[in-house]
Amino acid sequence: MKFGGVMALGNVSTSVAEHSITAIIGPNGAGKTTLINVISGAIPQTKGKVRFQGRDVSGFAPHKAAEAGIARTFQNLRLFKHMSTLENVMVSRHIKTTSGFFSCALKLPSSRSDEKIIREKAIEFLDFVGLGDKANFDALSLPFGVQRHIEIARALALDPKVVLLDEPAGGLNPQETDGLATLIHKIRDKGITVVLIEHDMSLVMNISDSVVVLNYGQKIAEGTPEEIQRNQAVIEAYLGKETVH
Amino acid sequence: MGRANVTALIVFGIIILVLPFVLTSPYYLRVMNFAGIFSLVCIGLSLLLGYAGQISIGQAGFFAIGAYSSGILCAAFGQSAWVGLVVGLVVNSLVAFLVGIPTLKLRGHYLAMATLGIGEIIHIVALADTEELTRLIAWIGENAGYAPEAVSRVLQPYKALTGGPSGFGEIPTINIGSWVVSTPVEWFYFIWFVVFIAMLLSLNLIHSRIGRALRAIHGDEEAARAMGMNTLPLKLGIFVISACLASIAGSLYAHYVTFISPVTFSINESILFVVMVAVGGMMSVWGALVGTLIMTILPETLRVFQDYDILIYGLILLLIMMFMPDGVVGLVQSFFGRGREKTG
Amino acid sequence: MASISDILQYVFSGITIGAIYAMVGLGFTMVYNSTSIINFAQGEFVMLGGLLGVTCVGALKNMGMPAHLAIPVAFVFAVGATTLAGMLMEKVAIEPTSRLTVFHYGGIAAVVAWLSRVVLGLSIPVCVSATVVITAVLYLLLRRKTIHAMKNPTVLQLIIITIALSIMVRGIAMFTFGKDPYFMDHFVPEKAINVLGATVLPQTLLVVAVIILVVILVGLFFGLTLTGKAMQACAFNREIAKLMGINDRWMILLSFAMSAAVGAVAGYVVTPITLMEYDRGPMLALKGFGAAVLGGLGNGYGAVAAGFILGVLEALGAGLISSAYKDAISLIILLAVLFYKPTGLFGSAEAAKFKEF
Amino acid sequence: MKGRMILTILTALVFAAAMMMGAMAADKKPLKIGAIFSVTGKASWLGDPEKKTALMLVEEINKAGGVNGYPVEVLIEDDEGVEPKAVNATEKLISKENVLAIFGPSLSGPSMAIKPICEKAKIPLVSCAAAEAIVTPIEESHYVFKTPQLDSHVAVRILEQINKMGIKKIGLITDTLAFGQQGRKQLQKYAKEMGVEIVADETFGPADTDMTAQLKKIGSSGAGAVVGWTIVPAQSIIPKNMKQLGMKIPLFLSHGFGNPKYIQAAGEAAEGIIFPAGRLLVVDALPADNFQKKVLSSYKADYEKRYGPPVSTFGGHAYDAFSLIVNAMKAKKITPDMEVAKARELIRDGIEETKDWIGTAGRFNMSAKDHTGLDKDGSLELLFVEKGGKIIPLSQKK
């Protein structure tokens, strides 16, 4: 699996191995979220390609990208208003069902069975992220950390090949962050490739198989956590160059 | 669809059955009948506005298409009421589909203006009658090289379809098999049966994946698309459905009043439909029903105030909107401690 | 085939029609920017300006005041009164508040008094006591209660509130001014000016001049004064503006005052040409809405330009194609523009984003 | 949610008021007549004088001891010029109030909408609207009558005058309401028969404020006269616009111009306008021997005494309708104790038997064939606006 793209912000070309956890890090404004937006089709890219399992998915509309198996979460949570936790996750299962206006209005068997499957599946994913008990709460009424998990469940419910997590640890307390780490491992063990953007270095360093560092839209480094920690360019990017007179 | 709604539906059905025995005066029944016709339009609108979050100030246009299809086909071309009804549905679906594609890409006030414009254009065509249109078509035809007399012969029967501002009457009533729907009571049962079915189907729809999808679009369209949802077809679908409900209402209106003229389908009517939905409560199709009843019955009760009714009408509308943002139904639900998110 | 003078005449006609749309559109924009609602009572401001003006001019002339004095005096009166009406509306029904204010109790008192006196025809002492008692009771009941409905009202809620307000204003106008049309003499000699065989009335030119003046003044206000800049800040992002210590409520009130004033000015100057009656408002509101949207919501200049464009389109449509379909023609073009550019001619996507239903 | 409190209290007030109103309505057994006018809404300038007239007449009649010794009660409903409202009002009057007859509505649309209801309920309806369709075909208008002059008569009178003035080509400008379009059809029909060519055919919306575009078009079409057929206030803009355009050709208007306010509104531009209408507007100028002089001057005097000038011909339609019903009641000795259905039937017959009765619109001769009962010359006078905006019969023009 390969992501290569010339971004509006500059030149980023990287590839992500399947069943791996890849972290994309970099200072604010490095273009991390933009990268995710381009991959997931939220914003059309100007140049370059997004290739996914040997197939060119560049310029796909978001729903196409999702069908292709690219799921994402949002940095600033975007759960559906006035919907329960369960319903939020159920929405993602629509992609797997087909019953349309007609059969739904008439409650034809097809739509009933669809509904049943959607519900069961959604509950599975809620349990997977450990929110089985929160199914019937209004999603937006729940604490921040829980909402982050709902977003992840919602993304996983698409049965994606790759899931793009945009700062999943943002605003979480240490315990929640640990929970997140184990969850991300669980996801990887399900055979789903994980790409995450994160500022929480300790998290990044202890979970990810490889790390890509962006700065001003340029890839400045790529490698295992250990390599990255020793990489001069990265340190400069974060701490700034020591200027000697 | 949730126990609450099932019970509500049953109660609703029972009320329909017994009401004519309580309200014996044909006057009350007629008021109820109009309420029923309008509530069909409002149910459709509430699906569109309350669930999908897409406003339309053009529903009177679809209402008109339904009414005129039925009226014209039955009065002028002697077709059966059912033909008129079906043709109305087909035409409305087509129109809604075609204008929906570009229109539903718009948002907020721009969508409001676009739908308003569409409704008004339909109204103007009804008002100006087809005479000018046929003249235009004839002009095109002749320039395309057809013989003028041939063209005019073809167009002759279509010169005055809508009767312009004066409208036209002598629209026969509906008959189901041997049963001719004529008295206010018969109409009451017929109209409200249709409303009941409409409610049933709408509730089914809302509590299916489609309904959830629509609410997702309402909640956050970006996120919905990221979750693999192709939003435009969904919006289109619900837009067409709302147009179809308006169309059925229009056909019923035409056969019920047996006379139609453009005033009934003006912008004011479109706006009134939105008001009805908001007054009843956007968050639930029941709101559409309640809102329509209130806004149809209120003016009748205010008749005792003679000219002052307009002031009191405005005042009551003002108070409802100021103190019941979720409409009457929303208020009732807050009594029963049911939050907004669970309604519908 | 239409001659040059015909075309020119249509354009003049269009300018006459469009002038009023432009002013209503401008009024819309102001309220829209501060509240992101469409104020359907905007048309009523025009109607009030016109009718108040006519009656005032008439009264002054009867008192023996010469026209050249009466006209400006009446102007000030009409605009002032309408502005107050606009502010009152905002205070009673629009302003976000968690408690009922003195205005609400005032409103309640007025309504009770009116119901008991005019509608029920009770004797004056009874009305007075009834009013006092009911208002007092309500005050005691509600004084401490928070009213969430009014704390953060939704856009649609507010829009329908403005519809309700317009209904009431129209009703009051009907009782005050009656149902017949009002007319008044042109401010300037009614001597048509001939341009290449087409004619235009001096009053029309006056109206256009007034509009240009208003636009310039509004532009200066937003451009130069601190309040103006604050209003724009509110328009751009209410929350941030609040954090910056801008009193957003005052800004909303101001925007209503200004839009009411603009409407009244328009009504006053066009009445000699168009006549005025109590139920002119709604139609003007709709046309003005069209202008505001075509121009790109939030853009005052756009609204004014679009107003004239719509007017000219109507006139050309009537003259060249079919007077029966003239409104349809202008609407189709409006729709075409929206489909091509979803935020109107001069509108920006950002401005549109903030204002969802 | 304390707003609920306010709401409840106010609604309580409202309903209390409602009851009191109801109580006031209940009087000693009167003869009930229903009326439906567009008192508010688009056509209020039409419904308003009609309502005022009705109220005035009832008071007068009851002061004079009522009809057949019983007081008359008129229940006036407002249809706002909209059909559903008219239908509800009609049903209310018929089945809830049990009125013996209905007059109004002010507009053709509502009249057409309630016609089938009245036919079915077998209750006499005397419409105050102009459209001929209201009383045709006569077989389906057994219970329906109307008082305003026939459009066809008006059209013919105008075209006769146009022929007399030797004008061959005319341009039409009509409003997009039922009134204007009905007239337009009549003019098109008779113009052909009477050898007048229509070279321009323009319309304008009831709320339009500038017709120079349409008029310029007519002007360039080489028309020898402009014929305006409309009822909206905006019509007083037509002469102003013509003056602005410097159009010298004569302007004919329909009986819809019959409100002196319009003539004032048009100012000096109105000078020279010719329009056929009832004689109400020129009652003072009428010779003493004119058959309508008495009726008109008394109506005018009463109306203007009560509501102040000016009286408009529109109120006259209500005057005629109400009087037709009352006369029928007198003739048939209707009493409140009579069985309603029978009383309604008798009143209908009474109205149909009206012979040679003089109202504000002219001399009424109803018959089983004709439910308008007006003849074109008896009902219409060609009027002329002379310098200073005074209206005189064209015949008296110097």
Mean pLDDT score of chain B, rounded to an integer?
90
* Contact criterion met (CB < 8 Å) for D7 and B320: yes
Q: Quick check: helix, strand or coil at residue D142? A: coil
Provide the b/e sequence for A213-239 (b: ≥16 CB within 10 Å).
bbbebbbbbbeebeebeebeebeebee
Is residue D143 within 8 A of residue B130, CB to CB? The reply is no
CA distance D145 to D129: 10
If one compares B82 and A27, the residue with the highest pLDDT of the two is B82
Identify the closest residue of chain B to D129 by CA–CA distance.
B166
* Contact criterion met (CB < 8 Å) for B257 and D83: yes
Q: Which domain holds residue C256?
A: 4-90+159-354
Query: What percent of chain C has pLDDT above 70?
Result: 97
CA distance D53 to D304: 10
Contacts of B241 in chain A (CB under 8 A): 101
**How large is the average pLDDT for residues A223-244?**
76
Confidence bin at D6 (pLDDT 50/70/90): low
Q: D27-149+300-375 belongs to which CATH class?
A: alpha beta
pLDDT in tens, C168-191: 999 999 989 988 888 888 898 888
CA distance A60 to A58: 6
pLDDT in tens, C294-315: 998 888 899 999 999 999 999 9
CA distance B65 to B232: 24
Look at chain B and report how many structural domains it folds into.
1
Secondary structure of C242-272 in HEC code, one letter for each residue: HHCCCCHHHHHHHHHHHHHHHHHHHHHHHHH
Contacts of B125 in chain C (CB under 8 A): 328
**Structural domain ending residue among the three candidates A132, A157, A182:** A157
**How large is the average pLDDT for residues A126-140?**
89
**And the tokens for A6?**
């010339």
* Per-residue pLDDT at C317 exceeds 80: yes
**Structural domain ending residue among the three candidates A131, A157, A183:** A157
Q: Name chain D's partners: 3 or more CB pairs within 8 A.
A: B, C
Instruction: Examine the domain organization and report whether A166 and A243 are in the same domain.
Output: yes
**How large is the average pLDDT for residues A224-243?**
77
Confidence bin at C70 (pLDDT 50/70/90): very high
What per-residue confidence (pLDDT) applies to A8?
A: 46
Q: Is residue A184 part of a domain?
A: yes
User: Is the bond leading into D105 cis (omega within 30 degrees of zero)?
Assistant: yes
Q: Is residue C148 part of a domain?
A: no
Confidence bin at B341 (pLDDT 50/70/90): very low
Edge-to-edge strands of the sheet including A193-197?
Answer: A70-72, A162-166, A193-197, A21-25, A210-215, A218-223
Contacts of B127 in chain C (CB under 8 A): 324
Q: How far apart are the CA of B165 and the nearest CA of chain D, in angstroms? A: 5
**How large is the average pLDDT for residues D7-25?**
55
pLDDT in tens, B196-220: 999 999 999 999 989 999 999 998 8
Q: Which residue has the tokens 């005022």?
A: D52
* Per-residue pLDDT at C319 exceeds 50: yes
Look at chain A and report how many structural domains it folds into.
2
CA atoms within 13 A on the CB side of A60: 26
* Per-residue pLDDT at B338 exceeds 70: no
Q: Is residue C205 part of a domain?
A: yes
Contacts of C162 in chain B (CB under 8 A): none
CATH number of domain containing B249: 1.10.3470
**How large is the average pLDDT for residues A167-187?**
89
CA distance D392 to D286: 9
* Contact criterion met (CB < 8 Å) for C328 and B120: yes
Interface test with D, best of B24, B261, B308 (most D CBs within 10 A): B261
pLDDT in tens, D128-173: 988 888 898 898 899 999 998 888 889 999 999 999 999 999 999 9
Instruction: Examine the domain organization and report whether A178 and A65 are in the same domain.
Output: yes
* Per-residue pLDDT at C347 exceeds 90: no
* Contact criterion met (CB < 8 Å) for B212 and A158: no
Interface test with A, best of B199, B200, B212 (most A CBs within 10 A): B212
Please enumerate in sequence order all residues whose Cβ is within 8 A of that of B87, keeping only pairs 6 or more positions apart, or say none: B69, B70, B73
CATH number of domain containing A222: 3.40.50.300
Of D9, D212, D220, the CB nearest to C13: D212
Contacts of B315 in chain D (CB under 8 A): 10
Least confident of B249-253, C264-268, C335-339, D280-284: D280-284
Q: How far apart are the CA of D19 and the nearest CA of chain B, in angstroms? A: 9
Identify the closest residue of chain A to B343 by CA–CA distance.
A82
Q: Is residue A75 part of a domain?
A: no
CA distance C24 to C283: 11
What per-residue confidence (pLDDT) applies to B255?
A: 95
Q: Is residue C73 part of a domain?
A: yes
Q: Which residue has the tokens 């009911």?
A: C134
pLDDT in tens, A159-172: 999 999 998 988 88
**How large is the average pLDDT for residues A215-224?**
83
CB pairs < 8 Å spanning C and D = 125
* Contact criterion met (CB < 8 Å) for A100 and B237: yes
- Residue type (1 letter), D37: F
Q: How far apart are the CA of A219 and the nearest CA of chain B, in angstroms? A: 26
Mean pLDDT score of chain A, rounded to an integer?
84
Question: In this structure, which topology does domain D151-277 adopt according to CATH?
Answer: Rossmann fold (3.40.50)
Of C6, C183, C316, the CB nearest to D220: C6
Please enumerate in sequence order all residues whose Cβ is within 8 A of that of B78, keeping only pairs 6 or more positions apart, or say none: none
What per-residue confidence (pLDDT) applies to D375?
A: 82
Least confident of A6-10, B250-254, D120-124, D280-284: A6-10
Contacts of B224 in chain A (CB under 8 A): 80, 91
Query: In chain D, where are the structural domains located?
Result: 27-149+300-375, 151-277
Confidence bin at A240 (pLDDT 50/70/90): low
Q: Which domain holds residue A192?
A: 1-69+160-245
Contacts of A92 in chain B (CB under 8 A): 227-228
Q: Which residue has the tokens 């103006």?
A: C228
User: How far is residue C300 CA from its own chain's centroid?
Assistant: 13
Q: Do domains D27-149+300-375 and D151-277 have the same CATH topology?
A: yes
Q: Count CB atoms within 10 A of the CB of residue A183.
A: 20
pTM reported for the whole predicted model: 0.91
Look at chain C and report how many structural domains it folds into.
1
Chain B, window 260-299: residues with a beta carbon less than 8 angstroms from a chain C beta carbon: 267-268, 271, 274-275, 278-279, 282
Residue D130, CA distances (Å) to A111, D135, D154 in order: 57, 10, 11
CA distance D254 to D178: 14
Q: How far apart are the CA of B247 and the nearest CA of chain D, in angstroms? A: 17
What per-residue confidence (pLDDT) applies to A184?
A: 92
**In this complex, does chain A touch chain D, defined as having at least 3 beta-carbon pairs under 8 Å apart?**
no
pLDDT in tens, D176-187: 888 888 889 899
Quote ipTM for the complex. Answer: 0.89
* Per-residue pLDDT at B185 exceeds 80: yes
* Per-residue pLDDT at A7 exceeds 90: no
Residue C15, CA distances (Å) to B258, C328, D108 in order: 43, 18, 34
Instruction: Examine the domain organization and report whether A181 and A65 are in the same domain.
Output: yes
Please enumerate in sequence order all residues whose Cβ is within 8 A of that of C209, keeping only pairs 6 or more positions apart, or say none: none
What per-residue confidence (pLDDT) applies to B194?
A: 97
Instruction: Examine the domain organization and report whether A147 and A188 are in the same domain.
Output: no
**In this complex, does chain C touch chain B, defined as having at least 3 beta-carbon pairs under 8 Å apart?**
yes
Closest CA to C189 of D247, D242, D243, D272: D243
Of C322, C327, C357, the CB nearest to B132: C322
Is residue D201 within 8 A of residue D172, CB to CB? The reply is yes
pLDDT in tens, C203-242: 999 999 999 999 999 999 988 898 888 888 877 777 788 8
Q: Name chain B's partners: 3 or more CB pairs within 8 A.
A: A, C, D
**And the tokens for C180?**
């017949």
Secondary structure of A127-181 in HEC code, one letter for each residue: HHCCCHHHCCCEHHHCCHHHHHHHHHHHHHCCCCCEEEEECCCCCCCHHHHHHHH
Q: Is residue C77 part of a domain?
A: yes
Confidence bin at D117 (pLDDT 50/70/90): very high
Instruction: Examine the domain organization and report whether A145 and A196 are in the same domain.
Output: no
What per-residue confidence (pLDDT) applies to B205?
A: 94
Q: Is residue A74 part of a domain?
A: no
What per-residue confidence (pLDDT) applies to A242?
A: 52
Q: Which domain holds residue B329?
A: 3-342
Q: Is B139 on the interface with C (CB under 8 A)?
A: no
CA distance B173 to D120: 13
pLDDT in tens, B43-67: 999 999 999 999 999 999 999 999 9
Instruction: Examine the domain organization and report whether A64 and A169 are in the same domain.
Output: yes
Q: Count CB atoms within 10 A of the CB of residue A245.
A: 2
**How large is the average pLDDT for residues B5-33?**
92
**How large is the average pLDDT for residues C319-326?**
85
Instruction: Examine the domain organization and report whether A201 and A237 are in the same domain.
Output: yes
